[in-house]
Amino acid sequence: MPGKRTAAIAGVTMALAVLVLLAGPLVKSGVLPWVAGLGLFALGSLVAGIGGIICLIALVRRRGGRVAIGGAISGIGALAVLVAIIINGRGVPRIHDITTDTVSPPQFVAITPAVRGAGSNSVVYDPALAAQQAAGYPALKPLTVAKPPAEVFDKALRTVTARGWPVAIADAAAGRIEATETASWWGFKDDVVIRLTPTESGTRIDIRSVSRVGEGDFGANAHRIEGLLKAIGG
């Protein structure tokens, strides 16, 4: 009987692990709302993790056989991913609008609220975010390069297109590029605006990245901006 219970728990655990794995594609395809998908991922990972631990204990006691191995690996694996995400998110501010210029952030012109869709986060910058960003990402600043705006614009546009992001506007005269990155697994969309300003020494690069949904971004927008600054300014 103990072996049968372990096998049943292992079966449920592996099924939950599969659902956890499918949470992202289900959200991306529109089958699940993003809130429901994240809930499935979090709760499914937690319950699967408990099942995985039970299967591991059964293995230590030499019960359950191969099915318990599958339950232990899939359940603990799902829980490990959840824990890693939580740990990664603890060190960053719970915000989703990041910019190199918190005083006069780049504005979206082509990517309007209508483009972002109903229920999306606002792109009206909240000045209260500046202090949180400064505390979480103190090194995130505008970048000035000793190159003319036209040259920097060309490189910025090449950088964006090389990443496969759909470009909403590329206005060389205004020094503006707007584009959208879509997460490959979940399908979450983050909008980016690059603003280039001529200076006496060259060109100042400012970037803003805003998530369409969610309160926090687990550092994704800041990481994206840092990567763009390095690629464009390098």
Please, what sign has the CA dihedral across residues 43, 48, 51, 53?
negative
Q: What is the pLDDT of residues 19-66, one digit of tens each?
A: 999 999 999 999 999 999 999 999 999 999 999 999 999 999 887 788
**Cβ-contact 53, 28 below 8 angstroms:** no
- What does DSSP assign to residue 120? P
Q: What is the pLDDT of residues 144-194, one digit of tens each?
A: 999 999 999 999 999 999 999 999 999 999 999 999 999 999 999 999 999
Compute the chain's Rg from CA coordinates: 22
Burial class (CB in 10 A: 0-12, 13-18, 19+), 104: exposed
Tell me the whole-structure pTM to 2 decimals: 0.90
Q: Per-residue pLDDT for 73 more than 50?
A: yes
